[in-house]
Amino acid sequence: VNTYEIVRELGRGQHGKVKLARDLLTNEYVAIKIVSRIGRARLGRPLSAGSSQEEKVRREIAILKKCNHPNIVKLREVLDDAASSKIYLVLEYVERGEIQWHDSYDNPILNEEQSRSAFRDVVQGLEYLHFQGIIHRDIKPANLLVAHDGSIKISDFGVSYSAFNSELAKTAGTPAFFAPEICYNDPNQPPPPITYKIDIWALGVTLYCFFYGRVPFMAENEFELFNVIATEDVIIPKNEDGSLVADISPEGIDILIKLLQKNSDERPSIPEIKNHPW
């Protein structure tokens, strides 16, 4: 691809494949996200108006071009191949990949200090995004990459939006990390506004994953999951004797509960998170 030699596949997801490549001019490694312009119908339904694959990737590119922060993956260049209807996003390669937060038995593998360090980096990245008027909409461990120095970089802006975009009411992202206001389904009431506080909720779900090795809300299907997220309180795991399952400080539990408030107005702002004793 242009001056890049493909080495191997790093992963694939809803929005395209990601491949490791070597820049033949500089000998540096990069990650190339390959996205087809042509979106495919999902589950037999046509793509909705205004949601074409090309429009999504153009939006992702525009967002990445606005960003220059140590806790956000950098876009190096964009290659547009009209012949194959593919767009190539050349991104910085983050060596250690996705943050590892649970083992094969779903036990957490990060201690509290490691969780706090990763959490702080994500908060710094989110502060920058929100200042730029960007809502990420898919904060989760799988989108947090670990650099060679151990710092965290937020990745995958495939469903991100401007905070002022009316399209924001549509569901996008990963259901287990959806905020209650996205899951809200009362036909007799207007839906709550969707704001940057959905990222704060997802940050809370991510911290829960770090502490306990699993998401806080689970169900058999998406409909049940939405209902559970919207109505059920978060449970802090305890042993039979009432002691906490994980060795987490009271301050850590406190910030977790604050992040996972059902009412978005009661969730802390980024400055409030940064000023929290934890």
Could you identify the residue written with the tokens 């710094």?
124
Instruction: Find out whether 33 is annotated in a ligand binding site.
Output: yes
| Contact between residue 263 and residue 246 where contact means Cβ atoms under 8 Å apart | no
Could you identify the residue written with the tokens 């009412």?
263
Residues in Cβ contact with 174 at an 8 Å cutoff, skipping those fewer than 6 apart:
138, 140, 142
Phi/psi of residue 196, each to 5°? -60, -15
d(CA 236, CA 257): 9
Q: Is residue 4 helix, strand or coil?
A: strand
Catalytic residue among 80, 121, 138, 199: 138
Closest alpha carbon to 163 in 129, 116, 214, 115: 129
| Contact between residue 31 and residue 48 where contact means Cβ atoms under 8 Å apart | no
Given 3-state DSSP classes, what are the helix, strand and coil percentages for the chain, each rounded to the nearest 5? Answer: 35, 20, 45
Annotated active-site residue 149? The verdict is no
Helices (H), 93-191: 112-131, 180-183
Could you identify the residue written with the tokens 């036909």?
187
- Residues tagged active-site: 138
Mark the binding-site residues for ATP, compressed into ranges: 33
